[in-house]
Amino acid sequence: MITKCLSGAKARVIGAALLAAVGWVSFQAGVASGERTATEERERTLKAYQAATQYALGHLQAAQSRGDALSRQLSAATRAADRLRKERDDAISRTTTGRVCLDEPALRVLDGAPGLHSDLPHAAGDSAGADAGYVATDTHVARWALDAGGRYDECRRRLDALIDWHEGQQ
Per-residue pLDDT of the chain (170 residues; tens, 9 = 90+): 544 555 666 667 777 777 777 777 777 777 667 777 878 888 889 899 899 999 999 988 988 998 899 999 999 999 999 999 999 999 988 998 989 888 888 888 887 777 776 666 665 554 544 445 688 888 888 888 898 889 999 999 999 988 988 887 66
- Confidence (pTM): 0.56
Residue 129 CB partners (closer than 8 Å, separation 6+): 123
H/E run at residue 143: helix 138-167
Please give the pLDDT value at position 108. 80
Taking each helix axis from N to C terminus, what angle separates 8-95 and 138-167, rounded to the nearest 10 degrees?
Answer: 160
Look up the domain containing 76 and give its range. Answer: 2-167
d(CA 109, CA 76): 38
d(CA 132, CA 134): 6
Please give the pLDDT value at position 154. 92
The count of domains in the chain is 1
Please give the pLDDT value at position 88. 92
In degrees and rounded to multiples of 5, residue 136 shows phi and psi of -115, 125
Handedness of CA 136, 137, 140, 141 (dihedral sign): positive
Please give the pLDDT value at position 168. 73
Amino acid at 67: G
Q: Are 120 and 111 in contact (CB under 8 A)?
A: yes
Please give the pLDDT value at position 128. 45
**CA distances to 8, 94, 100, 132 from 135, in Å:** 126, 20, 6, 9
Please give the pLDDT value at position 170. 64
